[in-house]
Amino acid sequence: MNRLTTDEVAIRQGTQPGQAASPDDHIRKQPRRALEAEPLLTADDVAKRLNVSTDWVWDHSSRKQPLLPVIRVGDGTLRYRPSGIEAFIDERERISSKSRRAS
């Protein structure tokens, strides 16, 4: 059986080992990402940012390389994190500069 020590539990809960539990410890803490929420982009927003068509964004969100980082919401709706799109741009830039150096 894989049991956690009290120190491991404390670290996972964000407290120091041996630190007294607070009265609010029974309340589940929000994930950090939820506290730093960034507004999600639509396929149209991404198309404008990348200067491509919305069809290109749809294609590269599901089946064509390079794949865009996408969040699928119900009924076929696609959303994108601005930070994910910026990371995509950075990666494409890194790849293209690497291939230029190799030439």
Domain with 59, as residue range(s), is: 43-102
Helix (H) or strand (E) run with residue 35 in it: helix 32-35
Q: Which residues contact 19 (CB under 8 A, 6 or more apart)?
A: 10
- Higher-pLDDT residue of 74 and 5 is 74
Does some domain include residue 76?
yes
The full DSSP string for 48-90 is HHHTS-HHHHHHTTTTSSSPPP-EEPGGG-EEB-HHHHHHHHH
Does some domain include residue 31?
no
* pLDDT at position 1: 47
pLDDT tens by residue, 37-90: 889 999 999 999 999 999 999 999 998 888 999 999 988 899 999 999 999 999
Does some domain include residue 28?
no
Does some domain include residue 57?
yes
Does some domain include residue 79?
yes
Does some domain include residue 23?
no
Count of domains forming the chain: 1
pLDDT tens by residue, 9-32: 555 555 555 555 555 544 555 555
Does some domain include residue 81?
yes
Does some domain include residue 6?
no
User: pTM for the full model?
Assistant: 0.61
* pLDDT at position 101: 73
